[in-house]
Structure formats: C-alpha cells, structure tokens
Amino acid sequence: MILEIINASLLAATPILLAALGGLYTYHLNVFNIALEGMMLLGAFLGVLGSYLSGTWVIGLIFGALGALGAGAVFAFFAVYLKTDEFVTGIAINMLSLGGSTYALRQMFHVKGAFIHPDIQSLPLWNLPFFGKLPWLSFAALGLTALVWIHLYRTPFGLRLRAAGEDARAADSAGLNTARLKIRALLLSGALCGLSGVFLSLGYVTLFAENMSNGRGWIALAVIILVRGNPLNALLMALFFGFFDGLGLSLQKVNIPSQFTQMLPYLAALAALYFYSRTKRKTL
Amino acid sequence: MLEGKRGGYGTAKRLPLIGGKLSYAVRKRIFLNIRKLLPALLGLPAAFAAGFIILAAQGYDAPLSFTSLFHYSVFSRFAFFGTLARSVPLILTGLSAAAAFSSGCVNLGQPGQLILGALAAAALGLAVDLPALLMIPLLLLAAMAAGGLWAFIAGWFRHRFAMDEFISTLMLNFAADYFALYLISGPLLDRDMFSPMTKAIHSGGFLPLPGGFPTAVAVVLLVFCLVWIFFHRTKTGYELKIMGTSRLFARTGGCRTDADFLTVIIISGALAGLAGGLLIMGGQQHRFLKGLGANYAWDGVMIAIVADNGLTAVLLYGLFFAMLQTGSMGMEMETAVPSEFVLVFQAIIVLFAAASRKSFGVIMNWITVRRKAGKTARGEAHDT
C-alpha cells in the first residue's frame, strides 16, 4: 500500500519536478518565467508527433526537448533582445503553444480534443525495487535534480547565474554578460520543460490531449517560489503535489465525487502558499 | 505593474500639432491616448504579416482566408450581431484584467470568476421564476456577486496571510473548474441530456434579442461607462492608479492601499462574473454547458495586455478579437483553414503588440535624447 502510494506520487511528481527544475534556472536569474506551462504543452505535443512519425520514443524525446527549447529561444528573443515585458512574453508563449498545439491537432491529425494512435511509442518502463514500475524518465528526473543542484551551486556558471540574478548591474559591471546568461537559462528551462511535457504525453499516458498540461506548469512555478529555488526541496515539494495527485486517484474508489479529489493538488498549492507566507512573515 | 515606466519619453509640451485651441491638459490627454494606441497599431501589421506567412507556408489561400475572416464577422447584419455578442465576454474579462493590472493587482483568475458568475446566474435562474423586469437585474447582480466573491477569496488571502494573489487566483481557477463540473454533472444535471449541462433557466432571465441584436451589449456599455467613471473620476479610482505605479508611494502618500486592493480585486472579479452571467442570460442556450468558460479563459488577459490596460482600448480590442473569433468559422468554410488558427493568431498579436510598444518606447527615447543633445550643442537652454 505504501509502496503503491510512493509509486503513484513519483509518477505524478515527475512532470512537475522536471518543469520546476527548468524554472529554477530562470528563477535564480530573476527572470519572471511564466511560460513553463506553455513550454510543457509544446513538449507534450512534439513528443507525440515525433514518436508517431518515427515509431520510436527516442525521436519523440528529442522533438519535445528541442521544440520547447525553441520556445525558450523565442522567449529569449522577445524578452532579452526586444526587451518585451517578461510577464507579457510568458503569457503570449503560453497562448501560442496552447493555440498552436490545438491548431496542429486539427491541421495534421484532423482530430479535435485528443490524438491517440497505436504508432505512438511510449517511454520504456523500468521496474526498480521500492519504487516499482515507472517510465525511466521518472528515475532520470531524480538524477537530474542532483545534476541541477551541482550545476547551480558548484559550477562557475551557476555562481554567475545566481550573482546576475541577485544584482544584474553589479554582475554586468563585473564583466558578466547578463543577457547571454539569460538566454542560456531560458534555453535550459525550455529543454527541461520539454522533457516534462514528453513525460506527460509519452510516460504518464500515451496520447496528446488539448491543454493536457492542465496547470502543472503553474504548480511547478508555485513549487519554485515555495522552495526559494532549492532543487532538492523542489523534489520534496513536487513529491508533495504528486502525493495529492495520486491520492485523488486512489480516493476515487471511495464515494467522493471525482471532481473534488481532482481539486486536491490545486488546493494543496494554496495550503502550501499559506504556510510559506506564515514562515516568511516570521523571518521578516 | 506590467509596464512600470510611463511617460518616460518626450511628453506633451512638444506636441502643439494636436488640437491647437484646446487647453494643455486636454492636448496632453489626447497625446497620451494616441501614444497608447499607436504602438499596438504598429504591431498589428507585423502580426498580420506573420499570420499571412504561416498560412501561405502551409499552402492555404492566405489572402482569401484573411478577407473571409472579416467578411464573415462584419459584412452582414447577422455576422455583425454575432461579433457583438462574442465581444461581450471578451470586453468584460478584458476590463476585469485591465482594472486589476493597472492597479498593481495580478488577478489572473478571470476564468474561475467567469465560471462562478455563470454558475450563480444558472443556479438562481433555475431556482426562481420572476418577471423579466425583476429577474434580469437579479441574475446580473448574482453573477457579479459570485465573481466578486471568488476574487475576494484571493484578495483576502493576500490581505490576511500575505499570500501572492498571482498564484492563488490561478489555483482558484482550477478549483472553480472542477466545482462547476461537479455541479453540472451532479446536483444541477439535466438528466435528459447526454453530456453534462444544466437545464435552461426560466425564461424571465433571458436577455431579449430584438431582431437578433444582443442586448447584453447594452449592459456592457453601461458597465464600461461606470468603470470608466470609477477609474477617472473618483478618489478610490485615483488611488488605484497611483497604486498601479507604485504601491509604496501610494501608501506613504496616504492611500488606504489595503482597502483599495480589496476593492479593485472585487471589482475585477465582479466584471468577470458578469461576463459569465451574460453568457448564460444572453445567447441561445441559456444553460451552463460543460466547458463554458474554456473558450474565453485567457482572452481577457490577452486583450488587457494588447490594450496596455487602457479601458477604451480594451473596448476596441475586445471588438477586434471578437471579430477574429467570429470570422474564423467563415474562414474555415472558405479556405479550410481550421478555425483554431485564430488562437495562434491572437497570441502572435499579443506578442507583436507588446514587442512593438517596447521598441516604440526605445525609439521615442532615442529621438528625444537626440533632440535634446542637438539643442544643447546649439547652445539653446533646456526646457524644463
């Protein structure tokens, strides 16, 4: 029973964790990146597209990651080069990938709502002791968390990133190229969100549905803010949301309307925000 | 909060060309309004060009697609009324977002507030049966109250626990979504139907459609006037404007920022709620169907962004977006471009309008600096 819960939590936590890892880069650079949701959705769509066209999940993974990286590049072009407001750029990217994927769903596959096809190959499952059977990207995400931590806190790049986030002008006058750092951080966050999307469409399920990210990108954003940018705590927080997501699924067997159990992760986010604000008040 | 710096570049004194006989204040206002609209208007041709290229690259008949987009939205009475009806929720959610954003309140909860407003109108419309003269105002008020209440929750979280309204309004959207789904597939379900929806409300709550004209538009115009007066002619509205520029400055200047914040988030929510109520009461269905709010979810935020939070601009761009959305069906009929293309196109417009506004500001700054430098070089005194 407990192992089942761990399994379900990790499964639901993976997309949130991956997107949150992506968002960490921009968080530390003080870029208001609210495009996580959109990049994730784009990754999910392109993952299915690549897997469908080639018949292998490898191409799907590459498509998804590169496509979302492209969205990060568009973000960087507008926000860094044209100096468009980050909030506005993020909203526009979200709408662009929501509209774009919905449009492409009809234009390429001639379906509305969802695309399911036997040619779509999903991510291979690994069966590890304790965790149980999961798509391999779930385990990779755990490893990535450690890598991102090292990248942010133990490499020159991470130091520069955090310094530029702390005070961009000071960093600039110390000879760092803040604009280039921003572009890199946005590309990294795009690629990671792309992986998160691929996990959704090729791991969690094997299909693409309109707006299938369904707020997970926003939850990832909440995770980042709540853990103040620490990757290891982000892992715990993602598991916390994953737990409520999984809990919703198991509670459906009990006689509670499924709509209320589906609310749980979002209400959990509100609760987490409440506790976060309380501790923040104390420290101030 | 979105575009912090306003009036940074060459202000009105240097524009005697506009309305020479008018007073300085009026000239300045006209100038500022034009400056607000112009950059977005410059972004539009770029957005159209991008949309054109996207369609042409896929082998569609791009010119015909774009002309049918307008042909099927304004060039017949039926189409035009359709556009007007479509603009109702767009303008109201746009006003909701603009009112909040321009006051420094990041209310992204329009989708949820709209759903709550629609639910209130639907539930009350099913529960009571009154003559139209009483019922219509009652349902409108109920929709506004429900939307306002839903937004107030987020406002109260912020007020009481310092919880960021940006995240809480978003999360409340999802809660509202599932709550509505629960109601329409459970307690309020019309069991004769195959997909989750309520029964139609009592006919007293129907907004009249004389000759097909959507009277909801009249409600929108009335509300628009009230909102405009509130923001431009009242003390609270003025305080909110200051708050939008700098909250700290507003507080030190003696504005009651906490109370003002709650006021604006309730107003913002009530506007979105009203949009939901009008969706139920206007139109043809008069019932809450599954996925009701989804179509308008983020449109309000997008419109507010393109309009740079200007109220009049929201009205215009709301109509424009409604035109695109209405025309998209005709476009699909004529050139087989899936109507979802409009979703992409809207996002492109947002991106380009925002980008061109920024570049426009940079260019204006550059010109001002050049001119000042030139004057200094010629030994003229600075005008202050």
Whether residues A94 and B298 touch (CB distance < 8 A) is answered with yes
> Which position has the higher pLDDT, B374 or B232?
B232
- Specify if B318 maps to a domain: yes
Cα(A211)–Cα(A197) distance, integer angstroms? 11
Cα(A94)–Cα(B91) distance, integer angstroms? 21
CATH number for the domain harbouring residue B216: 1.10.3470
| High-pLDDT (> 70) share of chain A, % | 98
Q: Are B353 and B39 in contact (CB under 8 A)?
A: yes
Cα(A20)–Cα(A116) distance, integer angstroms? 27
Whether residues A257 and B186 touch (CB distance < 8 A) is answered with yes
Residue A283 has pLDDT above 90, yes or no: no
Instruction: Provide the CB-side half-sphere exposure for B299 (13 A, CA).
Output: 28
Task: Give the residues across from A115 on adjacent strands.
Answer: A208
Residue A158 has pLDDT above 90, yes or no: yes
Q: What is the mean pLDDT of residues A40-67?
A: 95
Look at residue B9 in the predicted model and tell me its pLDDT.
Answer: 42
- Band of pLDDT at residue B19, cut at 50, 70 and 90: low
Q: Are A231 and A210 in contact (CB under 8 A)?
A: no
- Band of pLDDT at residue B384, cut at 50, 70 and 90: very low
- Specify if B65 maps to a domain: no
Q: Are B283 and B209 in contact (CB under 8 A)?
A: no
Instruction: Report the candidate in B334, B301, B332, B293 with the shortest Cα–Cα distance to residue B317.
Output: B301
- Specify if B99 maps to a domain: yes
Residue A4 C-alpha, separation from nearest chain B C-alpha, in angstroms: 26
Residue A274 has its nearest CB partner, among B3, B163, B301, at B163
SS3 A104: helix
- Specify if B97 maps to a domain: yes
**pLDDT tens column, B287-338:** 888 878 776 768 999 999 988 899 999 999 999 999 999 999 999 999 999 9
Look at residue B3 in the predicted model and tell me its pLDDT.
Answer: 40
Q: Which of chain B's residues have a Cβ under 8 Å away from the Cβ of A221?
A: 167
Residue B338 has its nearest CB partner, among A96, A107, A273, at A107
SS3 B85: helix
Query: Going from the N-terminus, what domains does chain A have, and what CATH number goes with each?
Result: 2-283 (1.10.3470)
**pLDDT tens column, A101-118:** 999 999 999 988 899 999
Q: What is the 3-state secondary structure (H, E, C) of B165-198?
A: HHHHHHHHHHHHHHHHHHHHHCCCCCCCCCCCEC
Which H or E element spans position A134? strand A132-135
Q: What is the mean pLDDT of residues B120-143?
A: 94
Q: What is the mean pLDDT of residues B52-69?
A: 92
Q: Does A284 touch chain B (CB under 8 A)?
A: no
- Band of pLDDT at residue B8, cut at 50, 70 and 90: very low
- Specify if B63 maps to a domain: no
**pLDDT tens column, B192-236:** 777 788 888 988 889 988 888 899 999 999 999 999 999 999 999
Q: Are A84 and A153 in contact (CB under 8 A)?
A: no
CB contact set of B105 (below 8 Å; sequence gap of 6+): B155, B165, B261, B264, B265, B268
- Specify if B142 maps to a domain: yes
Question: B298 to chain A: nearest residue by CA?
Answer: A95
Residue A222 has pLDDT above 60, yes or no: yes
Pairing verdict, β A125-128 and A208-209? unpaired
Residue A47 has pLDDT above 70, yes or no: yes
Q: Give the count of beta carbons closer than 10 Å to the beta carbon of residue B48.
A: 15
- What is the overall mean pLDDT for chain A? 91
Phi, psi of A147 (to 5 degrees): -60, -45
| High-pLDDT (> 90) share of chain A, % | 66
Look at residue B7 in the predicted model and tell me its pLDDT.
Answer: 41
B-contacting residues of A 238-257, CB under 8 Å? 257
Return the ∠ at Cα B125 (arms to B121 and B131), rounded to 5°: 120
Q: Are B314 and B95 in contact (CB under 8 A)?
A: yes
Residue B374 has pLDDT above 90, yes or no: no
Residue type for B109, please? Answer: G
Residue A252 has pLDDT above 70, yes or no: no
Q: Which of chain B's residues have a Cβ under 8 Å away from the Cβ of A270?
A: 157, 163, 168, 171-172
- What is the overall mean pLDDT for chain B? 87
Residue A172 has pLDDT above 60, yes or no: yes
Q: Give the number of domains in chain B.
A: 1
Substitution target in B164, B165, B167, B184 with the highest count of A β-carbons within 10 Å is B167
Domain span at residue B235 reads: 79-328
Residue B341 has its nearest CB partner, among A87, A103, A277, at A103
Q: What is the mean pLDDT of residues A267-281?
A: 85
Tell me the Cα Rg of chain A.
19
Question: A84 to chain B: nearest residue by CA?
Answer: B355
Q: What is the ipTM of this complex?
A: 0.91
How many residue contacts between A and B have a Cβ separation below 8 Å? Answer: 131
Q: Is B302 exposed, middle or buried (0-12, 13-18, 19+ CB in 10 A)?
A: buried
Q: What is the mean pLDDT of residues B146-171?
A: 93
- Specify if B370 maps to a domain: no
Q: What is the mean pLDDT of residues B79-95?
A: 95
Substitution target in A45, A237, A263, A283 with the highest count of B β-carbons within 10 Å is A263
- Specify if B336 maps to a domain: no
Residue B1 has pLDDT above 70, yes or no: no
